[in-house]
Structure 1
Amino acid sequence: MLVRVSYCIYISLYITTQVYKFLIYTWYTCRISIIYSIHTQLIKHHNNMTLTIDVVDAKTKDHSTPSNNLILEPTIDEIPKELLVGNDYINASRNDSEFVKFSWSRLVEIIGQNQLQLLGRLPSDLRKYLVWKSKIIKQYGSVVNFMFQDRLHWGPEKELAVPKGINLFEYRSDYKILMNDFPYGFEDGIIHIVVWTKIMIPKLADAADLTEIAREQLQRFVECTFQDPLEMLPKDILWFKNWAALMSIREIDHFHVLLNRPPIDSRLIEILDHDDVDVDLKLAQVDSRARALLC
C-alpha cells in the first residue's frame, strides 16, 4: 500500500514538473516571437518612422520638442540633397571620431573673434538634425511653422506672435528661453540655450552685426537672467548671435547663450520656459552630472 502511494506521488510530481516546463517553454517562445515581430516591424518601417514621439500626431499630443535620444541613427543617404548646403555634405559624411569637440577656452576664442562660422554639430547630430528637418517640413510646411506652433506656442493664430511691448525683454510674454534641441558639438558640461524673441534685435545697416545698444541690452539680459540667479562668474557665460548667413531660422529672431558647468538644480529649470519639455533628458545628453542624477 505504501509503495502504491509513493508511486502515485512520484507520478503526480513528474506530471506537474512536465506541465511547468511546458508552460515555461511556451512563455519563452511567445516572448521571443513578440520581440522578433517588433524588431521586424521596426526594420520594415524604419524609413517611415517619425523622429519624435510628440510630433506623431499634433492634434492628440501635447506639442513638444525633438529629443535626440528618440531619434534613430540616420545615414547621409537619408538626408534630402536640397538640405545639404555649404559644408553640410562634407560634415555630415564624417564620423564622430573625426570631430574635435569645442572646449570652453576654444569657444571663448571663437566668439571673442566673432568667427561663428567655425561652430558646428557632431556629424551624427547634424545628420539627425537634417533628417528631422526634412520630416518637419513635410508635416508642417516649414520649420518656422513648427517653431511657431509647437515650440514657441506663438501660433498658428497670427496675433500670438505680435509683441506686447516695443522694447527688447520689456514683457516676459515677448520672449522664450529654451534648451537647444540640437546643440553644437561642445565638451561635456557646456549647456546650450536659445533665447527667442518676438521683437527684432537691432542690427547695423549691413545686418552683419548688432548695434552697440543691442549688445548692451543682450549683455544686461544675460547678466540678470543667467549670471545673477545662477551665481556664476562672468567668465563662465558666453552669448552670441549668428549673422543672417549662419541662421537656420531667420524669420524668428534669436540669440544663443552658453553656460559652462552651471549648477544643475531648480534654479536652471526655473530660468527655462515652463512649456519646454524633456529638459532633464536634454541636460543629460550634454552634461554627465545631469546623467548621474537620472540614474
Structure 2
Amino acid sequence: MPHGTTGASTPAATITSLDEKLTDADTTAPAQFLHDYNITAKTLPFWLINVHRSQWPAECPSFLRDQPDKNIRCLSTPDKEYRRQDWDLVQEIITSARADCADQGAPPPAETNRIDRFQRVPSDLRKYLEYTAQIKAEYGSVMRFVVKERLGWGDGNTQDLHPKGGPFEFEEDIKILYNDWPYGIDKDIIHLVVWTKFELADDPATGELTSDGRAAIEQYVHTRFHSRVARKQVVWFKNWKSLKSVHAVEHFHVMLHRPDMAFVREITEDDVPLIERVCV
C-alpha cells in the first residue's frame, strides 16, 4: 500500500533536519540510517522515496511537480513494497465482456477494460518522468522523439506519418517495438507496442475503438501473433485518449505471456527498450 505523501512544497527545514543527523557512514548505509532515526516513507516527501541518500535533491525536482494523485501514490511507495501485476490480473484488467454484452444488447460492465489500473514500478515511474522531461526539452515533444529516434519514420513531423495504404495493408506502415517504459508487470510478460502510420478510429462518444477498428486489430493480432504464441497467452489493448502518453502517433499495446524470445527478437528486429539503455 502507498505511504502518506509529503508534497513538493515540503519546507527546506525538513530536509535540513534530516541532513543534520547524517554522517559519512550513514550515506553509505542509508537503510540502517533510516531505521536508526525512525525515518520512514511516511515521514519522507514522495520525491525522496526510492532515492539513495547520497542523491537526495534539496527540493522537489521540476519533473515531479504537479503530478496527478495516482502518480504521487505510486512514487510514495517503496519499491520493496510494490507487487508486480501477474498474468491473471493483466487479463482481468484488459479483458472486457463487450462481446457477451453485445449479444445481450447490454452495455459493458463498469469494472471491465480498466486499463487505468496499470501502473509502473515506483522507481521506474520516476525514471520515466525524468527521461520524458529531458526528451521534451531536447526534441520539443515526445512525439518528435518517437517518430525520429524510435520509429525511424522521418524527422519527427506529422507529415512523416502518411500511410502507404489502409489499416494493416502494408508492413511499412507498422512497427513493433518494446514498450520503452513498461508497466510493473511480472517479468515473464513481454510488453510490446504496435505503432501505425494509419489511424484506428475511436468512438467520439466513448473514446474507445469503433467496432471496425477493434475488428481490424483483432485480425492483425491473430495473423501476427497467434501463429507463434498461444491465443490464451496474448492480450492487447488500446489506451483511451486520456491515458495516451504519445497522442500524435497511433499505437496499441500487446502483452505476451512467456513467449519464445526468438519470436520477440524477430518481430521487434532485436529492439531493446529505453529503460535498459538509458541512465537518468
Structure 1 length normalisation: TM-score?
0.64
Q: Output aligned runs, 1:91-130, within 5 Å.
A: 91-112=74-95, 113-130=112-129
Q: Retained in 1: the 8 A contact 2:147–2:155?
A: yes
* Aligned: 1:89 with 2:85: no
Q: Where does the alignment leave 5 or more consecutive residues of structure 1 unmatched?
A: 1-71, 283-295
Offset at residue 214 of structure 1 (A): 1.1
* Aligned: 1:204 with 2:203: yes
Q: Output aligned runs, 1:105-254, within 5 Å.
A: 105-112=88-95, 113-156=112-155, 158=157, 159-165=159-165, 167-228=166-227, 230=228, 232-254=229-251
Q: Retained in 1: the 8 A contact 2:177–2:271?
A: no
Q: Deviations over 1:109-132 (max 9, x none)?
A: 111220111011000100010010
Q: Retained in 1: the 8 A contact 2:176–2:192?
A: yes
Offset at residue 85 of structure 1 (A): 2.9
Which amino acid is 2:239 matched to? Answer: N
Task: Tell me the equivalent position of 1:57.
Answer: none
Distance in 2 of aligned mates of 1:280 and 1:247: 18
Q: Retained in 2: the 8 A contact 1:79–1:130?
A: no
Q: Deviations over 1:136-171 (max 9, x none)?
A: 111111111111110111221754321111x21111
Distance in 1 of aligned mates of 2:264 and 2:124: 24
Helix, strand or coil at the partner of 1:125: helix
Offset at residue 199 of structure 1 (A): 0.8
Q: Retained in 1: the 8 A contact 2:208–2:240?
A: yes
Q: Retained in 2: the 8 A contact 1:92–1:123?
A: yes
Aligned length: 206
Distance in 2 of aligned mates of 1:243 and 1:121: 17
Distance in 2 of aligned mates of 1:238 and 1:98: 27
Identical pairs, percent: 35
Task: Tell me the equivalent position of 1:42.
Answer: none
Distance in 1 of aligned mates of 2:233 and 2:114: 19
Offset at residue 92 of structure 1 (A): 1.6
Q: Retained in 2: the 8 A contact 1:226–1:271?
A: no
Q: Retained in 2: the 8 A contact 1:140–1:146?
A: yes
Distance in 1 of aligned mates of 2:246 and 2:66: 13
> Runs ≥4 in structure 1, deviation > 4 angstroms?
72-76, 279-282
Q: 1:121 to 1:81 in 2, by over 3 A?
A: closer
Which amino acid is 2:74 matched to? Answer: N
Q: Retained in 1: the 8 A contact 2:236–2:252?
A: yes
Helix, strand or coil at the partner of 2:89: helix
Offset at residue 134 of structure 1 (A): 0.8
Higher Cα Rg, which structure:
1
Q: Output aligned runs, 1:216-295, within 5 Å.
A: 216-228=215-227, 230=228, 232-265=229-262, 267-272=263-268, 274=269, 277-278=271-272
Distance in 1 of aligned mates of 2:222 and 2:251: 17
Distance in 2 of aligned mates of 1:120 and 1:281: 15
Offset at residue 281 of structure 1 (A): 9.0
Which amino acid is 1:107 matched to? Answer: V
Q: Where does the alignment leave 5 or more consecutive residues of structure 2 unmatched?
A: 1-50, 96-111
